[in-house]
A and B are shown apart, each in its own frame.
Chain A
Amino acid sequence: MNPFTRTGAGLLRPAMAKAGYGVWLATATLGRLPHLRRRFRALLDYTYLAGVRTTPVVLMVGFFVGMIVSLQVGIELARFGQQESIGLLVAVTMAREMAPFVTCIILAASVASSMAAELGTMKVQDEVTALEVLSVDVVSFLVLPRVLALTLAAPLLTLFADVVGILGGGVIAVTQLHLDFSGYLHNAREALKTTGELIPLPEDLYVGLLKSTVFGFTIAVVGCAAGLQTSGGARGVGETTRAAVRTSIILIIIFNFFLGKALHS
Chain B
Amino acid sequence: MIELQQVTKSFNGQKVLDGLDGTVAAGECLVVMGPSGSGKSVLLRHIIGLLRPDSGKVLVEGKSVPDLSPEELRALRRDMGYLFQSGALINWMNAHENVALPLRETTDLGEDEIRSRVQRVLALVQLEQAAEKFPSELSGGMQKRVGLARALVTEPRIILYDEPEAGLDPEMSANINRAIRQLKEELRMTSVVVTHSINCALTVGDRLAVLEHGRFLVEGTPQEVLDSDMPRVQQFLGAKRD
Which residues of A pack against B, CB within 8 Å? 122, 125-127, 129-137, 141
Contacts and interface: CB of A to CB of B under 8 A. Distances in A.
Given A134-B106, A135-B77, A129 B88 contact: yes
A134 B77 contact: yes
A126 B163 CA distance: 15
A233 B89 CA distance: 17
Contacts of B154: 134
5 contacts: A125-B88, A130-B147, A134-B102, A135-B78, A136-B102
B82 interface: yes
A126 B84 contact: yes
Given A122-B91, A127-B91, A129-B50, A134 B101 contact: yes
Interface string B57-80: 000000000000000001101101
B86 interface: yes
Contacts of A129: 50, 84, 88
Contacts of A130: 82, 84, 88-90, 147
**Chain A interface, DSSP helix/strand/loop, else mixed:** helix
A126 B105 contact: no
B102 A135 contact: yes
A125 B140 CA distance: 13
Residue from B78, B89, B105, B106 whose CB has the most chain A CB atoms within 10 Å: B105
Interface in B69-117: 74-75, 77-78, 80, 82, 84-86, 88-91, 101-102, 105-106
Contacts of B84: 126, 129-130
Contacts of B105: 134-137, 141
A131 B50 CA distance: 11
B88 A136 contact: no
Given A122-B90, A130-B89, A133-B48, 11 more contacts: A122-B91, A125-B86, A127-B90, A129-B88, A130-B82, A133-B82, A134-B150, A135-B74, A136-B105, A137-B105, A141-B105
Nearest to B71: A135
8 nearest A-B pairs in the assembled complex, by CB-CB distance: A130-B88, A126-B88, A134-B102, A135-B74, A136-B105, A133-B82, A135-B77, A135-B106
A127 B102 contact: no
A178 B80 CA distance: 74
B89 A127 contact: yes
Nearest to B84: A126
Contacts of B91: 122, 125, 127
A213 B166 CA distance: 48
